[in-house]
Amino acid sequence: PAGAWAARFASTVHDEPGAVYWDVAGLLVVKYGFHAYGLDARGGGLAWSHRSATPILVVLASSRLRHVLVQSELESFAIESDGTVAWRIAHSDVVTGAELVGGRLVLTSYSGQLNAVDPATGQSSG
């Protein structure tokens, strides 16, 4: 961020805010409760917001992707810099963890299963 600014968020569930600086788009992407927010990194203005049906666990960004990844308990989705959803997939088991590993989005479910997803397309990669 270039300069001082602040943003306020509210949630219906207790949550710790988390954020990632998406340098390619110049956005600070914040997850809090059921929402993901794309904020202009220079001035803090809201570029977009997205609501999930379940609490959001993490937001992930990579200069190799044209979108940011948002992982909630029951869905994964990719949001482009203008706020449009590039892809979305639903999960049958609760996701407890998500990481970018070796060019894949690796999801850990509540039952302990691992699922690898192509982060560019949302397609299962085995």
Q: Block means of pLDDT (10 residues each) for the chain, length 126 residues?
A: 75 85 92 95 93 96 94 97 96 96 95 94 86
Give the span between the Cα atoms of 46 and 62, in whole angstroms.
Answer: 21
What does the pLDDT read at residue 74?
A: 97
What does the pLDDT read at residue 2?
A: 59
Quote the pTM value.
0.89
What does the pLDDT read at residue 3?
A: 66
Give the span between the Cα atoms of 5 and 14, in whole angstroms.
Answer: 24
- Indicate if the alpha-carbon torsion angle 104, 89, 112, 18 is positive or negative: positive
Instruction: Look at residues 58, 47, 72 and name the one whose alpha carbon lies nearest to residue 16.
Output: 58
